[in-house]
Structure 1
Amino acid sequence: MRRPSLQTLIALLLTVAWSLGLGIAHLRGDIPFIDGAEATLTNLRNTLGGHSQPPDLVTIVAIDDETSRVAGRYPLPRATLARIVDAIAAQGPKAIALDVLLVDPGDEAGDAALEQSLKRTKVVLAAASIFPESRQRVVDNSNEPLARVPSALQFLEPQQRFADAASYGIVNLQTDKAGTPRFVPMLFRSGERIEPSFSLRVVSAASGEQTTVLSDHIKIGDRSIHTDAGYLMPLSFYGPRGTIRTISASAALSGQLPEAAIRDHVVVIGATVTGGGDVFPTPFDPVLPGVEVIATSITHLIAGDGLVRDRNVRFIDLYFAVGLPIAVVSLLSWRRSTIGLITVLGVVLLWFAVNVSTFKHGIWLSAALPIAATVPPALLFGAIQLWLDRRRATRFAEQSQLLQRIQAPGLAEHLARDPGLLAEPVHQEAAVVFIDINGFTGLSESIGPTAVRELLNGFYNLVDEEVTASGGAITSFMGDGAMILFGLPHPKPADPANAAHCCIRLAHRMRDWLSALPQGITSRIGFKIGAHFGTIVASRLGGGDRQQITATGDTVNVASRLMEVAAGHHAEAAISADLLLAAGRDSTPFKEGHLNGPIETSLRGRAGSLTIWLWRGRP
C-alpha cells in the first residue's frame, strides 16, 4: 500500500475510534465537557428559530407587584391565596397548578381557608427536592431505567393538611451550567420513593388520565411522552416573559378574571413579584419567571410540541458524530486544495442546515457532539498533512537544487514546469558550443586523482557561471569538456549572439584561470572552443528511469570538429561563418580579440568544406 493511503487509513481508523467513543458516552448520558458548548449552540438555534405562539392551553395567574400591594404583603396570606384559588375555580378551569411551596404552617384561619379551597376544586400543589449537588446530573450504566431518575436527599412536601386536600408533584428543573432550564424531570426518587413531577401531575389531573411509566418513555392515557435518559423532558421556550398569557392575581381578588382565559384551561398560579428570586435565564429573556417555565413544560406535555430528544435521537447523534468526521477527514485527504476546502465547508454547512432544520421541527439533535468528534481529528490530520507537505516541499526543493546541479542548468526549471518537455524529438535552430581542455589526458596521469578532481571542479564551475550568465544550457560535461546549447527549450533570435558572446567570455575566463594555476600545469594544458549554428534534433535520450536531454545532428558534429580546427591553427576558438553571420561579425564580443577569416576548411569525417573564422584573444 502506498504511504499516503496508509496515512489516510490510519487517520480514518483513529477518527472512528475517537468519534465512536464520544458517541457511546453520549448514549449513556451527557458528556460534561460538551454540555457548555451544547447549551450555547442550543441558545443559538432557539434564536435562529425566533419566537413562536404557544397553544392556547395554559394561563398564568401571576402573584405580581400589584397583587402584593393589594394583599398588603408578600408572601401572600394563606387566606388571600384561598380567595385567588376560589375565584379561579369559579371560572371552570381543567386544573389549577399552585406553584407555591406550602411547607411551613401559617395562621390557623388562613390555613383552614386554603384547605377548604383545595378540597373544593382540582388543585395540584408544588413540592421540591433537595439534592446533594447544586446541579442535577444522572449518569448511570445500569440497565434499570429508574436508576437514571434524579435522586434527591429528601422531598420538601406540603403541610399534611394540604397534601391530604390535593395532589402534589416535584417542581424542580434541570439546568445547564449557565442556569438555563433545559429539562424537566418527569420522575424523582428519594430512597425507595418515586414521585412524579409537578408538570406531569398537573397534566394527568387536567386530562383525568392515568400516568404509566414504561422502560423508555411515559404515557398519559394513550399519549406517549418522549423523554431523554432518566425520563427528562426537554424544554423549548416560546419567547420572552409574557409569551404565555399572564393575568395578575389581583384580577382574581377584584373579581375581574376573564372567563375565556380560565375556562377549560390549565391555570398556573405562581410568583412574578420583583425580588421574588424565582427567575431563570433563557435564550429570549434573561429573567424569565419560574412559573412561566413550569407553564411551558405543561404546555409541551398537553400539546406535544416540545423538543424530542430520546434514545432514538441520541442514536442519530451517534451516526452524525461518526459520519461527519469521517467525511471531513476523507475530503481533506482527497484534495488539500481550494476545491477540497470548499467541499469540506459545503459538507459542514449541509450538516449545520440539517441540524438547525430538525431543531426547528422539534427534534433536538446534538450540535456540540459532532463538532467535538470532528474538530480534533480534522485539525490533527490537517496539521500532520501540513507538516508532511512541508517536508515534501523541502525534499523537492533539495531535489530541485540537485537537479540544477546535475541536469542541464537552465533546463531544470523548464522540466519542473513541464514534465513532458522534449518527450518527443524536436527539430529546431540552435547554436552549439563545445569547449575542451588540451593536454588534459597526459596531465591527469601525472598529477593524481585528487588534483584532477580539483582541476575539473574549477573548470566546471567556470563554464557553469559563464554559460548561465549568457543564457545557455550545458547539456553535458564530458570529462574535460562541455557541450553547450543556445536555443532550448525554445529558439530565440538572440541565440547566435549569446553563443558568440559566451565563446569570448569562456576564452577570457579560461585564459585567466590557466594563468592562475601552477606553472607545471599551465605549461602543459590549454583550451579550444568550437561553435556552429544550424538545425539540431533536441530530445530525451535514455530509458524510463534515467534520461538525458541532449541534441544530435550535423550541427552538433560540426561544432565538435571545429575544436580540432581551432587547435590545429593555434586559435582559441573556431567559429562557423553561419554562426558569425547570424550573430553579426561586428558585434561587440569579437572586437575584444583578433578575428581571422574567412577560411575554407575540411572537417574530419565530413565531406565538403566549411567556411570558418578563427579567433584569438589579445595578450
Structure 2
Amino acid sequence: MKRFHDLRHARIGRLLKAMQGRPIALIMLGGLSLLNLISEWPSDIARPSFVDTVDEALPDSFKSARQLLFDQYQRHYPRVPDAQPVIIVEIDEETLAAVGQWPWPRNRLAGLIDAIAAQKPLAIGLDIYMPEPDQTSPERVADNLPPGTTALAAALRALPTHDEILAASLHAAPTILGAAALDHPAVETRTSLRSAPIRLHGNGTLGRVPRFDYVLASLPMLQAAAHGQALLSVALEQGVVRHLPLVMGLGDKLVPSLPIEMLRVATGSPAIDVYTDRSGVQTVGVADALVPTQPGGDIWLHFASIHSTLARYVSAREVLQRTVDPQRFRDKLVLVGLTGAGVTDMRTTPLGELVPGIEIQAQVIETIFEGRFLRRPTWLKWAETGFIIVFGLLIVWYVPRKGTRLPAFMKAVPRGLAVVGVSLHLLNVLCCFYIFVRFGFLIDAAAIFIILSAVMGCFLSPTLMHQLEGGAGGQAPFGQEEPPVGSQAQARKRSGDDKDVN
C-alpha cells in the first residue's frame, strides 16, 4: 500500500513539474474558465447540449460563490430609498382581529378599495387573486337556507352578489389584479389571462423569458372590471429573491409583472414596449420610462433594508376607519396585500431579511422610479472571461521563467508570495465592489479569485513538494536551475575525499 502511495505521489509530482508546470496550469485555466461559462452561459451564442449535461452534473460550480458574493455587495451597500412612490396597505394581524379572518367577503374588500380610491392614488395593485366565487354572497346563503324560507331566499337572490359589488369597485378605481403563474394544472387554473398588449421591437429572441402554461387568476367578471392584470411570480435561487421578471410568457403570449403593469395604468399608457436583440430582452418600456433588463426580461434588485421602508406600510384597519391622512395616498402607487401571520408569503432577500412578498413588488417600483438598476449584461461576462484568460496566461508565462525576481523574492521572504497574493485578490474584490457602488455592474470577483488562484497553485505545488522532499531527487522549484550533473558528482567525490582524510 505504501509503495502504491509513493508511486502515485511520484506521478503527481512529475505531472506538476513537467515543463515547469505550464501544461497543467493551462489545462486548469482552460477547464475552469469553461466551467465558469457553463455555470452562466452567455445568451448571445447558442447553448450546446453538453452545457446542460455539465450543468446537471455540477449544478453549483461557481454559481453559489457568485450569488453569495453579489449578496455581500448588497449587504455592505444596500440601497437607501430617496423617494417613496409606493404605499403598502397591509392586511395585518390588527386588521384581521378587528375585521375578521381571511378570506373576507368580497363586499368588505370592495369597501377597502373604495376607501383607498377616495384618496386619489395613481394606481392600486392587489397582490391577491380570487379564482372562486364568494361563498358568503347572498345567493350562496340563499342556496343553503332550510325549506320554508322561500321569501327570504328570494330577497337574498335579489341583492347584488359580493362579486358584483367588488367588480364595481375595481372598475371605478385604477386597479390591477395579480395572478399566480404555474407550470402544472390545478383546481381553477386557466391557460390565458386578460392583459394589456405588449409591443415587441427588434428581431431578437425571447427564448430566455420564463414561460408558464397555467395561471391561477381571479374570476373573469373581476378581470373584466379591473384596469389591468399581472403575474406575481418571483425568481428564487436557493430560497433567495435576487431578481424579478418584468415580463413573462403565458403560453404564446407575453404578460407583464405587477410593477410594470401598475406603471402602465398609472401613466395611462395603452401598451408596454419590449426591446430585444439577438441575446434576448434588452429593455422594457412604459410611457417614457425605459428599464434595462437581463436577456430573460428580468432585473437584478438592489434591495433596501426593510427597516428603511417601514414608513410606507399602512394598516388596512386604519384605512377602513378613515384615520389615515388623505395626502398620504394622493398620486401614489398603492399595493394591497396580506402581512398577517399565517396568511402571507415571506421571502428572503440578499440582505438576509425575511420580508412579505408584497415588499418585493414595492422595491421593484422604487428601483424603476429611482433609475438605480443593477446590471450584469452579456458583454460583462465575456469581459470577465477575457480578463481571467489574459491574466492567467500572463501567470503561466512569467512565473516559471528562469532568472526572474520571483524565486529570489520567495527565498528572501518566504511568506511574501502569500501576502502579495492576498493583497492582489483583495484589490480585485475592492475594485469590483467600487464598480458595483459607482455604476451598478455586478462583476464576479469570486470566479476571478478561484481560477487565478488555481492557476498559481499549479506552480506553487512543485515548490512545496520540493520543500517537503527536502530537495532530494526532485526538480528544483520554478525559476531555479538544477546544478549540473558533473558538479553534483564532483561535490560527492570531494565529500568522499574529505571523509577519507578524516
Question: Do Structure 1 and Structure 2 share a fold, with TM-score over 0.5?
Answer: yes
1:359 equivalent to 2:425? Answer no
Counterpart mapping for 1:122-201 below 5 A: 122-131=174-183, 145-166=205-226, 167-177=228-238, 179-201=239-261
Letter in 2 for 1:360: V
Q: CA deviation at 1:308?
A: 1.7
Are 1:37 and 2:40 an aligned pair?
A: no
1:308 aligns with 2:397: no
Equivalent in 39, 47, 50 of residue 75 of structure 2: 47
CA 1:183/1:248 → structure 2, altered by over 3 Å: closer, same or farther?
same
SS at match of 2:359: helix
Structure 2 CA distance for aligned equivalents of residues 49 and 288 of structure 1: 18
| CA distance 1:330–1:173, change in 2 (3 Å) | farther
Question: Which residue in the other structure is 1:369 paired with?
Answer: 447
Aligned equivalent of 2:155 = none
> How many angstroms apart in 2 are the aligned matches of 1:121 and 1:308?
35
In 2, Cα distance between equivalents of 1:80 and 1:325: 65
Matches within 5 A, 1:379-390: 379-387=457-465
Q: Matched residue of 2:128: which SS?
A: strand
Aligned to 1:10: 23
Q: Could you report, residue by residue, the CA deviation over 1:575-596 in whole angstroms, capped at 9, with x for unpaired residues? A: xxxxxxxxxxxxxxxxxxxxxx
Separation in 2 of the partners of 1:282 and 1:175?
10
RMSD, aligned α-carbons = 3.2
What does residue 212 of structure 1 align with? 273
Cα deviations across residues 303-347 of structure 1 (Å, max 9, x unaligned)? 222312222333333334434544565665462524443333232
Matched, 1:406 2:483: no
Query: Where do 1:100-115 residues align within 5 Å?
Result: 100-106=128-134, 107-108=136-137, 109-115=161-167
Deviation string for 1:85-113 (max 9, x for gaps)?
11111111111111112222214432222
Alignment equivalent of 1:261, drawn from 328, 340, 351: 328
Task: Tell me the equivalent position of 2:290.
Answer: 224
**Cα offset, 1:56, TM superposition:** 1.4
Decide whether the 8 Å contact of 2:428 with 2:445 is kept in 1.
no
Amino acid at match of 2:217: E
Distance change in 2, residues 1:291/1:54 (3 Å): farther
Letter of the aligned partner of 1:378 in structure 2? M
Residue 346 (structure 2) pairs with residue 279 (structure 1): yes
Partner of 2:169: 117
Q: How does 1:537-552 map to 2 (within 5 A)?
A: none
Give 1:257's aligned amino acid: V
- Paired AA for residue 127 in structure 1: A
Amino acid at match of 1:28: P
8 Å CA contact 1:22–1:369 kept in 2: the answer is no
* Cα distance in 1, alignment partners of residues 293 and 207 from structure 2: 15
Alpha-carbon contact 2:179-2:216 (below 8 Å) kept: yes
Q: Give the partner amino acid of 1:116.
A: A
Q: Distance in 2 between matches of 1:403 and 1:248?
A: 93
- How far residue 385 of structure 1 moved from its aligned partner, in angstroms, is 4.9
Q: For residue 422 of structure 2, what is the aligned residue in structure 1? A: 345
Residue 229 of structure 2 aligns to a residue whose secondary structure is: strand
Helix, strand or coil at the partner of 1:393: coil
Cα distance in 2, alignment partners of residues 328 and 83 from structure 1: 69
**SS of equivalent residue, structure 1 residue 97:** strand
2:426 & 2:250 partners in 1: Cα distance?
A: 45
SS at structure 2 position matched to 1:146: coil
Cα distance change on mapping 1:16 and 1:105 into 2, 3 Å: same
Q: 1:94 to 1:323 in 2, by over 3 A?
A: farther
Q: Is the 1:149–1:188 contact (alpha carbons within 8 Å) kept by the matching residues of 2?
A: yes
Corresponding letter in the other structure for 2:420:
T
In 2, the alpha carbon distance for the partners of 1:326 and 1:349 equals: 21
2:376–2:443 Cα contact (<8 Å) kept: yes
Task: Give the TM-score normalised by structure 1.
Answer: 0.59
1:497 maps to none
Aligned equivalent of 1:464:
498
Cα pair distance change 1:328/1:156, threshold 3 Å: farther
- Gap change, CA 1:248 and 1:317, over 3 Å in 2: farther
Q: Kindly tell me: are residues 86 and 316 of structure 1, through their superposed partners in 2, closer, same or farther at Cα, counting changes over 3 Å?
A: farther
Structure label with greater radius of gyration: 1
Q: In the TM superposition, what whole-angstrom CA distance separates every residue of 1:144-185 from its partner, at most 9, and x where no partner exists?
A: 5211111213111221011101211110000111x1111111
AA at the equivalent of 1:212: D
Any unmatched runs of 5+ in structure 2?
Answer: 1-15, 44-50, 138-160, 186-202, 477-481
CA distance in 2, matches of 1:7, 1:405: 27
SS at match of 1:264: coil
Q: Give the 3 Å change call, closer, same or farther, for CA 319–299 of structure 1 in structure 2.
A: farther
Matched, 1:28 2:37: no
More strand per residue: 1 or 2?
1
Q: Is the 8 A contact 1:65 1:273 kept in 2?
A: yes
Contact 2:81-2:366 within 8 A present in 1 as well = no
| Change over 3 Å in CA distance of 1:54–1:293 after alignment to 2 | farther
Which residue identity lines up with residue 70 of structure 2 in the other structure? Answer: T
Is contact 1:35–1:176 with CA below 8 Å preserved after alignment? no
Q: Any conservation in 1 of the 2:25–2:458 contact (CA below 8 Å)?
A: no
Which one has more relative contact order, counting CA pairs under 8 Å at least 6 apart? 2
Judge conservation of contact 1:88–1:252 (CA < 8 Å) in 2. yes
Residue 378 of structure 1: how far off its partner (Å): 3.5
Moved more, 26-35 or 345-354: 26-35
What's the counterpart of residue 85 of structure 1?
113
- Cα contact 2:291–2:368 (8 A) shared by 1: yes
Distance 1:129 1:319, change over 3 A: same
For residues 221 and 242 of structure 1, what CA distance do their matches in structure 2 show? Answer: 29
Q: Per-residue displacement from partner, 1:395-444 (whole Å, max 9, x unpaired)?
A: 4799797554323x4xxxxxxxxxxxxxxxxxxxxxxxxxxxxxxxxxxx
Query: How many equivalent pairs are there?
Result: 403
Contact 2:89/2:315 (<8 A) preserved: yes
Q: Deviations for 1:106-162, whole angstroms, at most 9, x for unmatched residues?
A: 1443222211111011111111111269xxxxxxxxx95211111213111221011
TM-score of the pair, normalised by structure 2: 0.72
Rounded Cα–Cα distance in structure 2 between residues aligned with 1:332 and 1:277: 57
Q: Which amino acid in the other structure matches residue 192 of structure 1?
A: D
Q: What is the alpha-carbon distance in structure 1 between the residues aligned to residue 444 and residue 398 of structure 2? A: 23
- 2:337 is matched with 270
Give 1:231's aligned amino acid: G
Residues 240-272 of structure 1 deviation map (CA, whole Å, 9 limit, x = unaligned) = 256252111111101022233311111111111
